């Protein structure tokens, strides 16, 4: 067939599909099949789509007009907790969370439609990353490790199931990931020696479909526990593989009771979402003793590498290394630091950093780069296809790590102290790991990154400023002072022919757009 | 009658608490190896401490550890000077309510006073627990940090460490080991958190202003002048230079070996 005709037909099909789907969205809630190719007026999952690129093809806001970006509305939760969730947008309604709360807010006006408050509980209220949606159900994980299904129209509870035992030390904070009729959730819990796991739950009934354990059962001699699931993974519908990063081993700073690699902690694991079977795993930090989870977003990119088109997976990891893998089989293509690191003696033949035994926590302390918070953390990176830049919110840092026999072999099992840090947005060339540009943001860290096709990168600094940067060189084109701690990754969508960018600071959600008539 | 008894009990408890924690604090400060007897076992937790335990688990444990002896990003509260010296509980209460935003601790202003009291009771109980552990308590003791050689540390100080370019043992560092001990000394040695940066600035009209740096982001700079006034400017309207004495410490991070750090620590501890 003539390629041009093929493209026209494809385009026509897309329009038809979008038309059909928009009607279906409104009457049935969210059809999970759109998550792979979301319409412009949606942000149907934590990452925006299944790829984790956090890159939008919306172009109304450009480097030329972004200096006029202004506040469309703000929603004040009235809570002192800091918003850490990426709001979903479906059918003109935003759904986002704080620990114990879910809000539904009109995306046009910023006014509340409903809110849900979970009952008092003793779960850890550290943070909440957001909800998942399936048809007309909203799913939220609670601090005490329950999964609750709410009617998206009203916020009323449909069902509530336990996914982790809080008395053992589990808690939950991640945004559930919906793939077809699977609601994928995972647990947290670093203060005890517990097995980390992912579960797939039936969206209609809450019944467990499968569970995948990161590590052997607690108490297995010479084996590790841990491997918690702190963040939603990404998904390739063609390969039918879900990619998730696992957390660090426990006991955290003492590796003596868990000799060897400690599989599958600090690993990127590829699971079949229908069965939970492991297809492959790549370990980012073998035998970690620094609390460096590998749960950062495993970003799916189809691009050329070494001159060949490849199906890639990229992660800028907490331990300070940037990894590029072949996502069909987990084979390593590139491993390189993206900031100061001093804890590895080299890279092994499989592309894994080799931990230096002299840099394990010691009774008299060891100077370690990065600190326990890592060279990056949960803040979402973004991949911009035009520039080939993997942009990440990084933080260079140094710390001292201690562990001695009196610290035991349970939970933290040691002590670490941050000395100094500096927040820097870094733009990494994915083909070779070179840093093309950097942008200082202060002592600490701030927002994750969102890039758009018009060449903008939205993020924040450590002083409460939201920033719009030029993706090609990192220069600031617009900013606004929000007066709060920024701990989110920006999202964007189109409504009524206008592009909105959402950020949050403290307990307030801000919607930015160009003024009318622009 | 109950009121008088209660206030006398409170006074007795207060004195006991201060004595007990002061003793443990002082013995932790001793530079020589510990020869004290095993500490007495901790008393059973009060009802308030038991309630405080689950509150602590909910809101504090992730950062400060289940046992309040330090965790992911939060310090060991059982060794905290503020905690140990806070007889009335008002200092702890203020930190709980306001947080420590500059250090990443969120505020908890909506916690009812009764719950804050339970948290305080739990933290105080944990001090007993930590000191009662046989075979040494967890966390970093002064005696853990004595693996270096003071002579080698002095050579490093005057040589590759470049410390002598800004510091002198008879000058600014005289008595440093009396002012700070143990982990606190080592942390400040590696990065002096309280060091203030100085700014010299020229405004568009040619006015020269100098002071200590009070705020800086990519859009604004602010300083506090010698007579105490805070002044700020948009950065594009001024020319400025910043002298940050802590910067040399940051540059040194990638140069240290761990032995250098332990030797330097041994040397600094001689500067009493």
Residue A252 lies in a domain: no
pLDDT digits (tens, 9 = 90+) for B81-114: 889 888 889 999 999 999 987 777 888 988 999 9
pLDDT above 50 for A23: no
Contact B138 A408 (CB under 8 A): yes
Contacts of A479 in chain B (CB under 8 A): 219
Say how many domains are in chain A.
1
Do the Cβ atoms of A423 and A446 come closer than 8 Å? yes
Contacts of A406 in chain B (CB under 8 A): 133, 135-138
Contacts of B213 in chain A (CB under 8 A): none
Give the minimum alpha-carbon distance from B255 to chain A in angstroms, rounded to a whole number: 11
- Residue A473 CB neighbour total at 10 angstroms: 12
Catalytic residue among A291, A384, A407, A462: A291
Q: Is A261 a catalytic residue?
A: no
Structure tokens at A390: 């993997």
pLDDT at A17: 54
- State the Cα–Cα distance between residues B80 and B76, nearest whole angstrom: 6
Best residue of B138, B257, B269 to probe chain A, by most A CBs closer than 10 Å: B138
Residue A515 lies in a domain: no
Task: Compare all CA atoms of chain B with the CA of A414 and give the residue at the minimum distance.
Answer: B139
Do the Cβ atoms of A457 and A53 come closer than 8 Å? no
User: What's the CATH architecture for B2-27+41-139?
Assistant: Orthogonal Bundle (1.10)
Contact A406 B101 (CB under 8 A): no
* Average pLDDT estimate for A269-279: 98
Q: Which residues contact A417 (CB under 8 A, 6 or more apart)?
A: A399, A400, A402, B75, B183, B187
Percent of chain B with pLDDT over 70: 84
Structure tokens at B216: 């800086």
Residue A124 lies in a domain: yes
pLDDT above 80 for B10: no
The partner residue sitting opposite B66, judged by closest CB among A291, A358, A411, is: A411
Mean pLDDT of chain B: 86
* Average pLDDT estimate for A177-187: 98
How many A-B residue pairs are in contact by the CB < 8 A criterion?
Answer: 115
pLDDT above 90 for A388: yes
pLDDT above 90 for A273: yes
pLDDT digits (tens, 9 = 90+) for B20-31: 444 444 433 333
Structure tokens at A249: 């081993």
Residue A195 lies in a domain: yes
pLDDT at B5: 45
pLDDT above 70 for A3: no
pLDDT above 60 for A309: yes
Structure-token match 């909105």, residue found: A500
* H helix intervals, chain B: 2-29, 47-59, 61-64, 81-85, 90-98, 113-132, 150-158, 176-179, 182-190, 247-252, 258-268
Contacts of the segment A454-459: beta carbons below 8 A, 24+ positions apart: A454/A58, A454/A59, A454/A60, A454/A61, A454/A62, A454/A63, A455/A62, A455/A63, A455/A386, A456/A61, A456/A62, A456/A63, A456/A66, A457/A382, A457/A384, A457/A391, A457/A425, A458/A490, A458/A492, A458/A501, A458/A503, A459/A393, A459/A425, A459/A490
- State the Cα–Cα distance between residues A502 and B6, nearest whole angstrom: 55
Contact A80 B110 (CB under 8 A): yes
pLDDT digits (tens, 9 = 90+) for B170-208: 999 999 999 999 999 999 999 999 999 999 999 999 999
Supply the CATH number for residue A123's domain.
Answer: 2.40.128.630
- Cα end-to-end span (Å), chain A: 42
- State the Cα–Cα distance between residues B80 and B94, nearest whole angstrom: 15
pLDDT above 90 for A15: no
pLDDT digits (tens, 9 = 90+) for A95-118: 999 999 999 999 999 999 999 999
Domain span at residue A92?
A: 14-44+87-174+176-231
- Residue A347 CB neighbour total at 10 angstroms: 15
Residue A94 lies in a domain: yes
- State the Cα–Cα distance between residues A217 and A222, nearest whole angstrom: 11
pLDDT above 80 for B14: no
Mean pLDDT of chain A: 94
Structure tokens at B63: 């950062």
For residue B231, count CB atoms less than 10 angstroms from its CB and return exposed for 0-12, middle for 13-18, buried for 19 or more.
Answer: middle
pLDDT at B65: 86
* DSSP notation for A84-108: ----EEETTEEEEEETTEEEEEETT
Contacts of A465 in chain B (CB under 8 A): 217-219
Do the Cβ atoms of A125 and B60 come closer than 8 Å? no
CATH of domain B198-244: 2.30.30
pLDDT digits (tens, 9 = 90+) for A130-169: 999 999 999 999 999 999 999 999 999 999 999 999 999 9
- State the Cα–Cα distance between residues A185 and A349, nearest whole angstrom: 33
Q: Which ipTM was obtained for this model?
A: 0.91
Residue A318 lies in a domain: no
CA neighbor of A215 nearest in space, from A251, A191, A239, A166 = A251
Best residue of B253, B255, B266 to probe chain A, by most A CBs closer than 10 Å: B253
The domain ranges of chain B are 2-27+41-139, 143-193+248-268, 198-244
Contact B71 A412 (CB under 8 A): yes
3-class SS of residue B20: helix
pLDDT digits (tens, 9 = 90+) for B155-174: 999 999 999 999 999 999 99
Give the minimum alpha-carbon distance from A413 to chain B in angstroms, rounded to a whole number: 8
Residues 81-110 of B with CB under 8 A from A: 101, 104, 106-110
pLDDT at A310: 98
Task: Compare all CA atoms of chain B with the CA of A188 and give the residue at the minimum distance.
Answer: B62
pLDDT above 60 for A296: yes
Contact A364 B76 (CB under 8 A): no
Task: Compare all CA atoms of chain A with the CA of B220 and give the residue at the minimum distance.
Answer: A463
- State the Cα–Cα distance between residues B221 and A462, nearest whole angstrom: 15
Percent of chain A with pLDDT over 90: 91
Contact A419 B190 (CB under 8 A): yes
Contact A191 B65 (CB under 8 A): yes
* Average pLDDT estimate for A513-517: 93
Q: How many residues make up chain A in this entry? A: 518
Best residue of B105, B218, B254, B262 to probe chain A, by most A CBs closer than 10 Å: B218
Do the Cβ atoms of B217 and A479 come closer than 8 Å? no
Residue B52 pLDDT class (50, 70, 90 cuts): very high
Do the Cβ atoms of B246 and B192 come closer than 8 Å? yes
Residue A376 lies in a domain: no
Residue A277 lies in a domain: no
């Amino acid at each position: 067939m003539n390629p041009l005709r093929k493209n026209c037909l494809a385009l026509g099909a897309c329009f038809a599909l979008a038309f059909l789907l928009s009607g279906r969205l409104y009457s049935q809630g969210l059809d999970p099949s759109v998550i792979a190719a979301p319409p412009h007026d949606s942000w149907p999952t934590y990452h925006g789509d299944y790829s984790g690129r956090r890159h939008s093809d919306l172009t109304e806001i450009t480097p030329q007009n972004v200096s006029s970006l202004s506040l469309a509305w703000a929603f004040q939760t009235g809570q002192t907790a800091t918003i850490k969730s990426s709001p979903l947008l479906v059918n003109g309604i935003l759904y986002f969370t704080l620990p114990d709360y879910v809000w539904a807010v009109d995306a046009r006006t910023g006014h509340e439609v409903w809110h849900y408050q979970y009952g008092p509980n003793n779960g850890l209220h550290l943070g909440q990353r957001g909800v998942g949606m399936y048809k007309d159900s909203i799913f939220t994980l609670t601090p005490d490790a329950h999964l609750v299904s709410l009617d998206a129209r009203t916020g009323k509870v449909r069902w509530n199931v336990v996914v982790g035992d809080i008395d053992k030390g589990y808690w939950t904070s991640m945004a559930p990931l919906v793939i077809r009729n699977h609601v994928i959730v995972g647990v947290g819990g670093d203060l005890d020696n517990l097995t980390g796991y992912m579960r797939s739950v039936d969206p209609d009934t809450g019944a467990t479909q499968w569970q995948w354990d990161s590590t052997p059962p607690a108490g297995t001699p010479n084996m590790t526990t841990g491997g918690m699931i702190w963040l939603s993974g990404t998904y390739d519908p063609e390969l039918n593989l879900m990619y998730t990063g696992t957390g660090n081993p426990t006991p955290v700073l003492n590796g003596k009771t868990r000799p060897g690699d400690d599989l599958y902690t600090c690993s990127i694991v590829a699971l079949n979402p229908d069965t939970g079977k492991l297809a492959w795993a790549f370990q980012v930090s073998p035998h970690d003793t620094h609390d460096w989870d590998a749960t950062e977003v495993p970003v799916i990119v189809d691009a050329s590498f070494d001159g060949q088109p490849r199906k890639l997976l990229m992660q800028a990891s907490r331990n300070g290394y940037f990894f590029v893998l072949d996502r069909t089989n987990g084979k390593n293509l590139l491993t390189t630091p993206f900031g100061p690191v001093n804890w590895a003696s080299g890279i092994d033949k499989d592309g894994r950093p080799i931990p230096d035994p002299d840099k394990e926590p010691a009774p008299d302390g060891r100077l370690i780069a990065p600190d326990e918070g890592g060279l990056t953390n949960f803040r979402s990176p973004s991949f911009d296809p035009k520039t080939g830049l993997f942009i990440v919110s990084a933080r260079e840092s140094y710390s001292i790590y201690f562990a001695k026999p009196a610290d035991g072999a349970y939970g933290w099992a040691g002590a670490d102290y941050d000395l100094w840090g500096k927040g820097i947005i870094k733009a990494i060339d994915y083909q070779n790991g070179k840093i093309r540009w950097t942008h200082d943001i202060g002592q600490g860290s701030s927002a994750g990154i969102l890039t758009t096709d018009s060449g903008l990168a939205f993020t924040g600094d450590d002083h409460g400023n939201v920033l719009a940067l030029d993706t090609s060189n990192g220069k600031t084109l617009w900013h606004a002072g929000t007066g709060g701690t920024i701990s989110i990754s920006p999202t964007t969508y189109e409504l009524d022919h206008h592009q909105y960018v959402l950020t949050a600071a403290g307990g307030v959600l801000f919607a930015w757009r160009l003024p009318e008539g622009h | 009658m109950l009121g008088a008894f209660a206030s006398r009990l409170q006074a007795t408890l207060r004195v006991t608490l201060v004595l007990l924690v002061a003793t443990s604090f002082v013995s932790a400060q001793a530079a020589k190896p510990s020869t004290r007897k095993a500490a007495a076992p901790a008393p059973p937790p009060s009802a308030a401490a038991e309630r405080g335990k689950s509150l602590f688990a909910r809101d504090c444990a992730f950062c400060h550890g289940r046992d309040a002896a330090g965790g992911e990003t939060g310090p060991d509260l059982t060794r905290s000077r503020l905690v140990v010296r806070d007889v009335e509980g008002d200092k702890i209460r203020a930190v709980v309510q306001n947080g420590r935003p500059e250090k990443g601790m969120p505020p908890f202003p909506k916690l009812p006073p009764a719950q804050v009291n339970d948290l305080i009771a739990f933290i105080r109980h944990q001090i007993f627990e930590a000191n009662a552990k046989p075979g040494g308590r967890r966390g970093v003791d002064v005696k853990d940090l004595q693996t270096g050689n003071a002579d080698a540390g002095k050579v490093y100080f005057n040589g590759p460490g470049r410390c002598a370019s800004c510091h002198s043992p008879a000058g600014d560092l005289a008595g440093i080991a009396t002012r700070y001990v143990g982990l606190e000394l080592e942390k400040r040695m590696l990065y002096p958190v309280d060091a203030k940066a100085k700014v010299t600035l020229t405004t568009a009209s040619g006015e020269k202003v100098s002071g200590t740096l009070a705020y800086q982001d990519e859009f604004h700079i602010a300083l506090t002048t010698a007579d105490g006034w805070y002044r700020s400017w948009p950065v594009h309207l001024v020319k400025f230079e910043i002298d940050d004495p802590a910067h040399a410490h940051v540059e040194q991070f990638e140069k240290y070996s761990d032995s250098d750090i332990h030797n330097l620590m041994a040397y600094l501890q001689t500067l009493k």
